[in-house]
């Protein structure tokens, strides 16, 4: 008699536990306002990333096509992966001396691990995080970017 | 007419045969290969083969400076990235005898606990999925997304943050951080009841986990199984409680200990730990002192020659970092004692005699992250 009773209690407990779980899924089924999915490619126009989002390393330029990079190379040594490559150029100053300036600030996006050490290390705040995150390209060489724009120059008040 | 050749009939029932579980098996959560010796459906023995995602992180550390090492530790146990960073940062601070500001300690402790909750949420997702309940996966990820949003707002990334630096933090927390964390805890206290209703009380899940994969306390100690898996067997190994770091000594929390050491107990440990983590965060979140977000550090960090060791409680157990320095800016030798590697070593011992379906449940309850095993 006892085992007979246990048999039915077990069935009752099993069905009850399954129904408790079904209650949760059922509740979400009938409350569509609790759905949190984002329709990503469709909402691209309204999609706003957070301000601190680490998309890629960029070099901000002002309206006169001027940046803050002196080409000192501290970011190059701070980078753990050899992502940044700095090519310097020499120009003749009016007083006859030669001065080193930045020629190309090459950034290999494909090697970047987004640790932020270059931006932290930069003494003249020339680098910043960009918001762009759709980096997929068909050709790997497109991931090698030159951060200083062609024809750009350094802002006058930056002291080395 | 062709003659039919009769091969000698062997007793197939009694013969052992070997099956490769992985490296491409969804229940191994990564590229882990388990060579399982089976008799029928019974697991006779098991041999884990590691190394499919070995990147040589310990060797790579030897050419990097100490601030650069931080971003490599993210990629070991990527689900507790902040906690791994914390271990290396504390080691460097201990070696250089730098006192970090109180604000940094508070923020680090809170972020560590948030990371632990996020990690356990993902574990709950995959545990449910291994048991055959795909619904769990969606509900768990939905709630984990709230933590990842907080992370993304403050630290800029969702998984691999590199937020801690030796001596402090990369940047101060976002002004909305405290508000969002409090909102999350309020939200998650409600949602964790769903977890219990959906999976913990489920009869199928209980029958598949109770009394399966029993690990005794003595074995847990001798195999070095730490974290929730070790505590389920009654092994008091919480580094936060016994060797407090950060501001864990100022928070009031329980070290949750189990008695049975079976798969269900290991499941319950993590469910209870999520509640404890929320308790810690609630106590600290309003008391973050004002101050600087980093201590004053030299531009080049050179550790004095010698040996250093630091351990923290990662989401899966005790993470130890051991450094031999010869006085240069990068370590002479760096060794990580990763919790997952020790936890994996016990899998053979506790899964002998189980069915192969139980092996999936045991593996899910040990919660291994493969990049941390291989490093």
Residue B326 phi/psi, 5-degree rounding, is -110, 20
Please determine, for residue B149, whether its predicted confidence score (pLDDT) is greater than 70.
yes
Q: Is residue B2 part of a domain?
A: no
Mean pLDDT of all residues in B334-362: 88
Average pLDDT score over chain A: 84
Q: Is residue B179 part of a domain?
A: yes
How far, CA to CA in Å, does B19 sit from each of B34, B358, B367, B370?
8, 15, 22, 20
- Decide: B18 and B33 in contact? Cβ < 8 Å: no
Q: Which residue bears the tokens 């619904």? A: B135
- Decide: A86 and A106 in contact? Cβ < 8 Å: yes
Q: How far apart are CA B287 and CA B181, in angstroms?
A: 13
The band of B117, judged by pLDDT with boundaries at 50, 70 and 90, is very high
The band of B322, judged by pLDDT with boundaries at 50, 70 and 90, is very high
Angle at A93 between CA A90 and CA A94, to 5 degrees: 160
**B64 vs A: CB within 8 A:** yes
Q: How far apart are CA B237 and CA B247, in angstroms?
A: 18
Encoded tokens for B85: 């960073």
- Select from A12, A15, A80 the residue whose CB has the most chain B CBs within 10 Å, as the one to mutate to test that interface: A80
Q: Which residues of A touch B174 (CB under 8 A)?
A: 52
Domain of B227, in residue numbers: 56-374
Q: Which residue bears the tokens 């779980």? A: A21
Mean pLDDT of all residues in B318-330: 89
Q: Which residue bears the tokens 């050490």? A: A117
Which positions ≥6 away from B211 have C-beta within 8 Å? B262, B264
What CATH number has the domain bearing residue B255?
1.10.645.10
Q: How far apart are CA B274 and CA B120, in angstroms?
A: 7
Count: domains in chain B: 1
DSSP B30-73: BS-EEEEEEETTEEEEEEEE--TT---HHHHHTTS-HHHHHHHH
* Nearest chain B Cα distance for residue A95, angstroms: 34
- In 3-state terms, what secondary structure has residue B308? strand
B30 forms bridges with which residues in the sheet?
Answer: B25
Q: How far apart are CA B32 and CA B343, in angstroms?
A: 14
Please determine, for residue A95, whether its predicted confidence score (pLDDT) is greater than 80.
no
- Decide: B266 and B366 in contact? Cβ < 8 Å: yes
The band of B8, judged by pLDDT with boundaries at 50, 70 and 90, is low
Nearest residue to B365 via CA among B269, B235, B257: B269
| Residues A17, A19, A23, A29, Cα dihedral to 10° | 130
Residue pLDDT, tens place only, A36-64: 777 888 888 888 888 888 888 888 888 88
- For chains A and B, CB pairs below 8 A equal 67
Which positions ≥6 away from A132 have C-beta within 8 Å? A55, A56
Q: Which of residues 133-152 of B touch A (CB under 8 A)?
A: 135, 142, 145, 152
Mean pLDDT of all residues in B343-354: 88
How many other CB atoms are there within 10 angstroms of residue B259's CB atom? 10
Q: Is residue B344 part of a domain?
A: yes
Q: Which residues of A touch B204 (CB under 8 A)?
A: 18
Mean pLDDT of all residues in B7-22: 72
Nearest residue to B284 via CA among B126, B177, B363, B188: B177
Encoded tokens for B347: 């899998």
Average pLDDT score over chain B: 87
Which of A25-39, A123-137, B73-87, B93-107 has the weakest average pLDDT?
Answer: A25-39
**Chain A residues contacting B via beta carbons under 8 Å:** 13-14, 17-18, 20-21, 23-25, 36, 50, 52-54, 78, 80, 113-117, 120, 129
Q: Which of residues 79-108 of B touch A (CB under 8 A)?
A: none
Please determine, for residue B166, whether its predicted confidence score (pLDDT) is greater than 60.
yes
Q: Do A115 and B70 touch (CB under 8 A)?
A: yes
Among B135, B145, B203, beta carbon nearest to A13 = B203
Encoded tokens for B67: 């601030």
Q: Which residues of A touch B153 (CB under 8 A)?
A: 50, 52
Mean pLDDT of all residues in B108-123: 91
The band of B369, judged by pLDDT with boundaries at 50, 70 and 90, is confident
Among A23, A36, A115, beta carbon nearest to B197 = A23
How many other CB atoms are there within 10 angstroms of residue B47's CB atom? 12
Q: Is residue B44 part of a domain?
A: no
Among B142, B152, B154, beta carbon nearest to A36 = B142
Q: Which residue of B has its CA nearest to A130?
A: B156
Encoded tokens for A20: 């408790």
């Amino acid at each position: 008699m006892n085992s007979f009773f246990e048999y039915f209690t077990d069935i009752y407990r099993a069905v009850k536990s399954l129904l408790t779980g079904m209650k949760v899924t059922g509740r979400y089924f009938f409350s569509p306002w609790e759905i949190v999915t984002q329709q990503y490619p469709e909402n691209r126009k309204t999609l706003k990333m957070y301000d601190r989002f680490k998309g890629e390393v960029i070099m901000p330029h002002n309206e006169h096509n001027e940046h803050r990079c002196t080409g000192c190379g501290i970011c190059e040594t701070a980078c753990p992966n050899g992502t940044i490559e700095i090519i310097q150029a020499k120009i003749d100053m009016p007083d006859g001396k030669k001065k080193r300036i930045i020629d190309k600030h090459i950034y290999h996006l494909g090697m970047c691990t987004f640790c932020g050490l270059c931006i932290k290390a930069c003494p003249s705040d020339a680098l910043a995080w960009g918001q762009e995150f759709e980096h997929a390209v068909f050709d790997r060489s497109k991931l090698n970017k030159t951060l200083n724009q062609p024809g750009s120059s350094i802002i006058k008040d930056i002291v080395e | 007419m062709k003659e039919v050749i009769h091969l000698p009939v062997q007793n197939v029932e009694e013969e052992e045969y070997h099956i490769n579980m992985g490296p491409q098996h969804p229940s191994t959560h990564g590229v882990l290969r388990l060579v399982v010796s089976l008799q029928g459906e019974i697991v006779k023995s098991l041999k884990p083969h590691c190394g499919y995602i070995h990147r040589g992180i310990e060797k790579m550390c030897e050419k990097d400076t100490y601030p650069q090492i931080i971003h490599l530790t993210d990629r070991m146990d990527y689900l507790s990235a902040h906690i791994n960073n914390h271990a290396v940062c504390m080691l460097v601070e201990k070696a250089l005898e730098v006192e970090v500001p109180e604000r940094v300690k508070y923020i680090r402790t809170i972020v560590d606990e948030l990371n632990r909750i996020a990690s356990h949420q993902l574990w709950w997702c995959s545990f449910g999925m291994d048991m055959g309940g795909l619904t769990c996966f969606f509900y768990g990820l939905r709630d984990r997304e709230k933590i990842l949003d907080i992370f993304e707002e403050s630290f800029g990334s969702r998984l691999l943050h590199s937020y801690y630096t030796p001596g402090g933090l990369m940047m101060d927390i976002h002004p909305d951080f405290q508000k969002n964390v409090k909102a999350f805890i309020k939200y998650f206290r409600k949602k964790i009841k769903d977890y219990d209703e959906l999976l913990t009380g489920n009869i199928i899940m209980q029958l598949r986990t109770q009394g399966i994969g029993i690990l005794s306390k003595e074995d847990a100690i001798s195999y070095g199984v730490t974290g929730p898996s070790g505590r389920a067997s009654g092994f008091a190994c919480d580094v936060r409680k016994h060797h407090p770091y950060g501001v864990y000594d100022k928070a009031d929390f329980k070290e949750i200990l189990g008695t049975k050491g079976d798969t269900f107990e290991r499941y319950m440990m993590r469910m209870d730990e999520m509640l404890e983590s929320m308790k810690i965060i609630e106590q600290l979140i309003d008391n973050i002192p004002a101050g600087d977000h980093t201590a004053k550090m030299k531009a080049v960090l050179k550790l004095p020659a010698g040996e250093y060791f630091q351990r923290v409680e990662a989401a899966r157990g005790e993470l130890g970092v051991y450094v031999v320095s010869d006085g240069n800016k990068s370590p002479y030798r760096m060794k990580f004692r990763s919790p997952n590697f020790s936890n994996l070593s016990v899998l053979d011992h506790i899964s002998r005699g189980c069915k192969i379906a139980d092996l999936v449940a045991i593996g899910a309850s040990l919660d291994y992250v493969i990049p941390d095993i291989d490093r």
